[in-house]
Structures are given as C-alpha cells and as structure tokens.
Structure 1
Amino acid sequence: MIELKQKYTSIGGWEEEPKPLQSALNKDINADVVIIGGGLAGLCASLELVKSGLKVVVLEKEFSGFGASGRNAGYLGGALGLKYDLFLKKTGTEGAKNVVDFYEKGVDFAENIFKEYTIDCDYIQSGLIRAAIHESQEKSIRNDMKLGAELGCETEFLDHNEMRARGIPPAFLFGSYISRGGTLNPGKYIQGLRRAAIQAGVELYENTPMVSFHEVDGTVKVKSPNGSVSAANLILANNAYMPQLGLLQDRTVPLRVSAIETMPLSPTQLNALGWYNREGITTAHHIMESHRLTARNTLVCTTKKLHYVYGSKTPNEPDFGQYRALKIAIQDRFPMLKDISIKSCWSGYISYANDALPVVGTMGRHKNIYYAAGCAGHGLGTQGMIGNFIAKKILGYEESMLTFLMANKTPRTLPEPLRWCVLNGALFAASRLDEQVNRKART
C-alpha cells in the first residue's frame, strides 16, 4: 500500500505534461469553429477543419491528452472485445454490421493519421488476443467469435499449443486472435496530434475551461473565465466529462478505470516471459483485464475493476483498491516476475452508454452545436474518426456512418441515487463472478 501511494501519478503514466503549455485565453475572439476538449476527437476535428482554411479554436481545461486520450491502455483493437449482445437486438443484424465496420475502420483511420502527421507513438502492429485464464471461459470466447464473424469481425482461435508457440505466457490458456491493430503509447499519440494541430494553425488554448455557451442568431458564444469565442459552429468533445458540463447526464455515465505499470523488465525477465510478438492481451472476464508490454519494456495492466462516482462526478484522485487488484492480477498471470516493483499507477474515466454505442448528435436551434461521447473504452481509433466525421459534416460532406450514429437513440440512464446503486451493484456482482474464475485458475 505504501509503495502504491508513492507511485500514484495524477496525469497518467505515459507522458509528462507538455512544456510549454499553450497560453490560456484572455480575450474575446471570433472563429469559424470552436471546439471544447483537446483530446482525440477535438484535435482530429480541428486538423480536418483547418485544412479547408477555417479558423479553428480549441479550448482545453487542462492540457491536450489530460483525459482518457492520454491515459488509456493503448489498444488499437477494432471490434475485438465489443459487447455485441448489447447493441445487436437494438440495431438488428445489418445495424450491428455497421457498428462492427465502424470499429474496424477506426484502426485504419488511426494508422493513416500516424503516417499523415509522422507520429511516432511506439505502434506495434502485432494484433490482439482475447484470452482465457480458465477452461470455463472457452464457451464465451467461441460464442463471441461466432457472432463476431457473422457481423464482420473475423478472428482466429488459438489453442494451447498455438499460444505456447507464440510465446504467450502460460497463464493465458487459449484465445481468439485478430491480426489487425496492435498497441501503442497513447501519450505519444495525443502529443503528436497536439503538435500537428499547432503547426497547422489551430489556435489551442490550454488551462481554459468553458464556463458557459449560448446561441444567438446562429452564432455560438463560448465563455471562459477571462475571454470568449464566437463561432458559427461548436463541437463539444469532452467525452466522460460531458455530464459535469450539464450535458448528456441522462444518456452517458463516466466510469473510473485504473492502470498499473511495472518497472522495466531486465533481459533475463523478458526472456523468461517470452511473449515475442508483444500482442496486446485482454481476458474473457466479465470485467476484462488487459496486459501488454511497452516499448520501454514495462508491463502495463489495466481495468480489472470499474467504479461509478455518485452524481457522474470525475474526481482526479487515486483508487488504491483498484491498484491492489491490478497488482494481484500481475502476480497471478506472471509468476515468473515475482516481486517486480511498480513504476506508476493512475486512474481516469471512460464515457459509457447503456447500449455501449457512441453518443453523437447535434443540439441548438440551428443544429450547429455538435457533441461526441460514449467511447465505452474502445475509442482509441474511433473517437478521432468521429471528430473527423463531424468536421466533414461542418464542411458540407455527408458521412454515412456519422448519419447512422446520429440516428441512434441512446437509452436513458436511471436517476440518482438509483443510478449509483444499480451501476455499482452490477459492477460488484461482475467482479465477484470474475474472482470465482480467478480462484479456479489459481488452483
């Protein structure tokens, strides 16, 4: 516990705060488009808009990458691991195929961004594995593989021998493998986007929270503590922080996710570990674990448990209960790394809707206020793509996938205190079921 308290970092473990920060807004200005949020969606939208000569202003409360865009596990995974059953019945088979195609194209979008803006983010195109840690998880994996294939996500089953031939650590018995995508450093990715946006002429103001916005005669005016931006269009790209702005409170909830990173592994430890291709691994638990090796030869483990904070709040604080659970997961899955020290631990928030689909739409009398949230933990490729789609719509181009997402009617969330009780009750029950599997695996 003492070690974990000493290793907690409030801004995530991938990158340091960029220096120098862009100055805060301290005047009243005009723009063609103002974007709130300097994450993946906001920056990708700004890059597309500025190409067409528009004046684009991005306001960021902290710094670009402060939220989930810079704190996630770094999995560019397409449709692998989606909860197909949460949206299949609602959208129908053809609609579900569109959803799967959307997530698959998110991989291509991100890979193209890396190339277009020469972003070195330690991307390893290794593919990903959804693995079992106990024989009882085989049915779930095979059912998901079958359904995924019907919807357009083709995966390959790796049996015990094939997993060992790849050097996958023995705790992961078998699993489904997808060759698309891989792992990256999300901190380097978002900072690469930040540099590209600044160089392209996007006006980025950091340490600049939005206080309020209102629409008058087709113009949206956004106020910050010491200035304002008036623009023809507004994009709200705050994801999990949207409810704290008084927006989407009845359709999305922020869930706290945590991560833990070990100290760098020695050559001897790496050799004992195997894992030659460094595929990203997620488990078939109800609340998955994710395990991956980084370019700096550390091991990162994320998720394990989820938590909802009352009132959809997003306090930037540690969750030592989750860090302890993650450390136990590392000890369970990698006994050959006994007594390895922890380098850092951190927490952040994902935005989640009841149907596990992105929440995208417009508001305002002139429908010139756009919003994007609901990444559901799968936004590394898709959130940037949604920002790009919104930018193209502002420029007059129609994207069929954006039209499909905007037409989706997101289910309502429960009011408080029912929301807190039901959500955390369900998450607790899922954790108990996962722990039963863990105990079986240990024996």
Structure 2
Amino acid sequence: MLNDPRSHGLWEKTAPAPPPTTRLEEAISADVVIVGGGYTGLSAALHLAEAGTNVVLLEAAEIGFGGAGRNVGLINAGMWVMPDDFPKELGPIYGERLLDLLSNGPALVRELIEKHAIACELEKNGTLHCAVGPEGLKELEERARQWQKRGAPVTLLDAAETERRVGSRVYSGSLLDMRAGTLQPLAYARGLAHAAVKAGARLYTGSAVTSTGEVEGRKFVKTASGQVTADWVIVATDAYSTGPWEQVRREQVHLPYFNLATTPLSDNLRRSILAGREGCWDTKEILSSFRMDQAGRLVFGSVGALRGTGTTIHKSWARRSLKRIFPQLGEVEFEAEWYGKIGMTDNALPRLHKFDRNTIGFSGYNGRGIAPGTTFGMLLAKHILGEVSEVDLPLPLSDPREPAFRAIKEAYYETGAQVAHFAGERF
C-alpha cells in the first residue's frame, strides 16, 4: 500500500479488492462517525449500518492499512496474558466478563465470514502454541489448566503429536486451541468493508482527521477537505493513531513484527508441514510464528523491523531458523516480506477510553486484533444503539497514560531483536 511492498506484502498480493472509496471532499452529516478502517471500525460500521444507523467511516490511508492488514492472521481467543490474570488486573467482574467475551471472539469472526460470504481463506482447525524446552512446556501446562477449568476446548499435546501436526521435532509439546484458526487478514478487513457498504455505511479513504469539536450539541470531525457532523464519534485507530487522538498511540509501546512468505511449497512438503493448517507460535521471549496460506506458502515471522540493517539480519535468521525447524524444506526463497507495529500496553490488556461526551473507543490489542477488534466493534455499535450500557461494557473506563521511557523501550525492542537474530541459530 502507498507504493510500499513491505507494508502488507503477501496479503496485498492475494487479497480481493476493497470496495471503491474516495476522499471526503464535502461537509456531511451522520448519526455516527467512525475514525479508523481496521477491524474495530469496520465491525462497528457494519453492525450500526445493519441496524439502520446513518454511519460514516473515515480512514486516513486505505482500508486495513494498520495492523488489520499486516498481522500474521491468527484468530486467537483471549490475550497474551494467562486467563487467571484477567480478574487479577481488572477485578472479578470486568476480568471474567472480558475473558468470556474474548474466549468467544473467534466464533463471532467465523459467523460474520459465513454470513457475508467473505473470501478470506478461513481455516477452522485451531492453533498450536508450541513449547520450547521444559520451561515452555511448563508454561503451556499452566495455561491449559487455567483454560480447561473454564471449559475451553484446549488440549495439551505431547511432543510426538506436536511433531505429527507441525512436521518438526524441535518442540516439547503444544497447546491445541480449537476455538481458534487462521485467515487472510487484509482480505477479512476488505470483506468487512464490502459488507458494511452493502448495509449502507459510507466509507472514505485518504481522509485523515485533523481536528474535532462540538457545536450545538453535535460532534464534528474535520479532514483536510471535508467535515462530518454526528451525534457519536468512535475512535478506532489504535496503534496507528495520529492527530486528535495521538494519545492512544503514545499510550502504547510499539513492538515491530515482520513476516516472510515462501514461494508455494510442493505437494510433498505441504503434506509434511502443517498438514492440518493450524496457525502456530512458540513460547520464546522473542517469539516466532508460522502458518500456511491457501496456496501452500509458509508464512514465518518474528519480532523486528525490515528496515536498515534489520532487513538482512532478520531474513538471514529466518532462513537459518527454518532450516533448523523444518530441515525437509532445504533452501527457501521468500516471495514477499512485510512488517508492522504491535501496540503493547503496560499490562498487555486492552483499554476503553471515553475521550469526550459521546466519543469513545477501544485500543491496545497487544497483537491480538482480529477477534477482539471484531468483538469490540460490535459492542461499540450495541452501546450506541442503547443495547449495552456503559457499565456493562467489558472494560472499565480509563484515561490514556504514556508509559515511562516509551521511546527508549521501542528503540530497545527493534535493536534487541536485531542483536538476538544476528546471533541466533548459528550453532
């Protein structure tokens, strides 16, 4: 996107086209204006439009430009933190409410895909959280225990079963989560956009919001060439926030993450590597993720940015890692490469902010945007429609707070990933 092949890589090459959109060039009115064309904004627009609401969505760049179009494509349940940590961080009411909601998030994603016939390479065979060594297996044993006591369909697999499913002997076990799966993330975002337009939503791209305010009891947002007046404003910009809600970006520490896609593998290799097409990631602190797309490309990713010296370092590390994990691959060629930013909050849990009267938004997905973003967008729509009260939302209201040493931490993550990958897999 924006003539940058490293922004969305394989996903832009293989996603169906988005609906036709234009830049906002006039002053218009709506019931609700949504700022941000990712999963949260598009889900909110779809659910509001289906309820007969006059809704306008403004996207600064293109549909799915932020994390929605760059991520790995894992439809996960929950967040990175352990299930028992939800009530510890948020209290028993909000903690269990959020946990239950996000546990069911992948089901909502599948429901929307099927209802609107979204072509996004949906796979329903679950995900595998792969254990690296005894400590990794210990972590997964505890994660399994905490989910299973809540009735979640997760199963701890031994090393042999993990090898059979993954096609690699390097893992000491894995946690299979049958709620989860994979999809083509940009295709899903564009599919939500098509569904929202069909339902009556008006979408504008290349329309960054520059200012906001209120006149005679109604909110307004301005772009460089237009204005929307509405009763409600949904802020759905998350880690890529700029302009009036840049505070949302400043609340998060950006963790860079890259993905590399091989050329399509042969039929023999596709039978021996992820034959069930589960999405995978490991328990390392600097984690790796891998999955197959529909055409048999192996998508492999980790922490780091493909810019400057990082481009060569991370790609070289990826080749060494793939050779160790999947020796049957031999030498690999990468067909596409891309990277983006994961917005991390200080407790790895999302936020709910009320920026002003009738101006509200969720943010801080910590690398778990697909199911939470879709779910939170639906909830914002229901809140505006009067179906869900403020006190019944899954998070308490909070004020954006910038973490200490944010810029230093971001530089450390990018540089640290390069150092780790330069030295990694050389034994």
Q: Is the TM-score greater than 0.5?
A: yes
CA distance in 1, matches of 2:107, 2:366: 19
One-letter amino acid matched to 1:413? E
Match of 1:175 in 2: 174
Deviation at 1:402, TM superposition (A): 5.6
Change (3 A) 1:145 1:267: same
Question: 1:413 aligned to 2:411?
Answer: no
Match of 1:79 in 2: 78
Match of 1:330 in 2: 322
- Contact 2:102–2:371 (CA under 8 A) maintained in structure 1: yes
Give the counterpart of 1:352 among 344, 352, 357.
Answer: 344
Match of 1:15 in 2: 12
Deviation at 1:88, TM superposition (A): 4.9
One-letter amino acid matched to 2:335? K
- Contact 2:35–2:209 (CA under 8 A) maintained in structure 1: yes
SS at match of 2:123: coil
CA distance in 1, matches of 2:410, 2:79: 24
Deviation at 1:337, TM superposition (A): 1.0
- Contact 1:43–1:197 (CA under 8 A) maintained in structure 2: yes
1:321-365 deviation per Cα after TM superposition (whole angstroms, max 9, x unaligned): 44444343323322211211000110112222111111122222x
- Contact 1:101–1:152 (CA under 8 A) maintained in structure 2: no
SS at match of 1:11: helix
SS at match of 1:29: strand
Question: 1:377 aligned to 2:375?
Answer: no
Match of 1:233 in 2: 232
One-letter amino acid matched to 1:377? G
CA distance in 2, matches of 1:408, 1:316: 37
Match of 2:69 in 1: 70
One-letter amino acid matched to 1:233? W
| 165-174 or 375-384, which deviates more | 165-174
One-letter amino acid matched to 1:246? E
Question: 1:269 aligned to 2:256?
Answer: no
- Contact 2:79–2:368 (CA under 8 A) maintained in structure 1: no
Question: 1:398 aligned to 2:388?
Answer: yes
CA distance in 2, matches of 1:286, 1:263: 28
- Contact 1:285–1:434 (CA under 8 A) maintained in structure 2: no
SS at match of 1:278: coil
Change (3 A) 1:225 1:411: closer
- Consecutive unaligned residues of structure 2, counting only runs of 5 or more, are none
Match of 2:148 in 1: 149
CA distance in 1, matches of 2:307, 2:212: 25
CA distance in 1, matches of 2:80, 2:350: 15
CA distance in 1, matches of 2:83, 2:416: 21
- Contact 1:80–1:153 (CA under 8 A) maintained in structure 2: no
CA distance in 1, matches of 2:86, 2:19: 43
SS at match of 2:89: helix
TM-score by length of 2: 0.88
CA distance in 2, matches of 1:54, 1:187: 26
Change (3 A) 1:376 1:167: closer
- Considering only aligned residues, what root-mean-square deviation do their CA atoms show, in Å? 3.0
Change (3 A) 1:180 1:331: same
Question: 1:252 aligned to 2:244?
Answer: no
| 214-223 or 104-113, which deviates more | 214-223
TM-score by length of 1: 0.85
Match of 1:112 in 2: 111
CA distance in 2, matches of 1:382, 1:291: 21
| 250-259 or 109-118, which deviates more | 250-259
SS at match of 1:404: coil
CA distance in 2, matches of 1:169, 1:251: 39
Match of 1:310 in 2: none
Deviation at 1:168, TM superposition (A): 3.4
Change (3 A) 1:214 1:323: farther
User: Across the two proteins, how many residue pairs are aligned to each other?
Assistant: 420
Match of 1:311 in 2: none
Alignment of 1:18-97 (within 5 A): 18=17, 21-79=20-78, 81-84=80-83, 87-92=86-91, 95-97=94-96
SS at match of 1:22: coil
Match of 1:204 in 2: 203
CA distance in 2, matches of 1:253, 1:274: 34
Deviation at 1:277, TM superposition (A): 0.8
Deviation at 1:84, TM superposition (A): 4.7
Match of 1:305 in 2: 303
SS at match of 2:56: strand
1:220-260 deviation per Cα after TM superposition (whole angstroms, max 9, x unaligned): 11111111111111111111112554333553233322111
One-letter amino acid matched to 2:297? T
Query: How much identity, in percent, do the aligned residues show?
Result: 27
Change (3 A) 1:202 1:153: same
- Contact 1:39–1:69 (CA under 8 A) maintained in structure 2: yes
- Contact 1:41–1:386 (CA under 8 A) maintained in structure 2: yes
- Consecutive unaligned residues of structure 1, counting only runs of 5 or more, are 1-6, 308-314
CA distance in 2, matches of 1:395, 1:411: 25
| 56-65 or 162-171, which deviates more | 162-171
CA distance in 2, matches of 1:119, 1:353: 31
Match of 1:386 in 2: 376
CA distance in 1, matches of 2:391, 2:148: 20
SS at match of 2:136: helix
Deviation at 1:101, TM superposition (A): 1.4
SS at match of 1:393: helix
Change (3 A) 1:196 1:339: same
CA distance in 1, matches of 2:18, 2:187: 14
- Contact 2:256–2:413 (CA under 8 A) maintained in structure 1: no
- Contact 2:354–2:361 (CA under 8 A) maintained in structure 1: yes
CA distance in 2, matches of 1:404, 1:282: 27
One-letter amino acid matched to 2:325? R
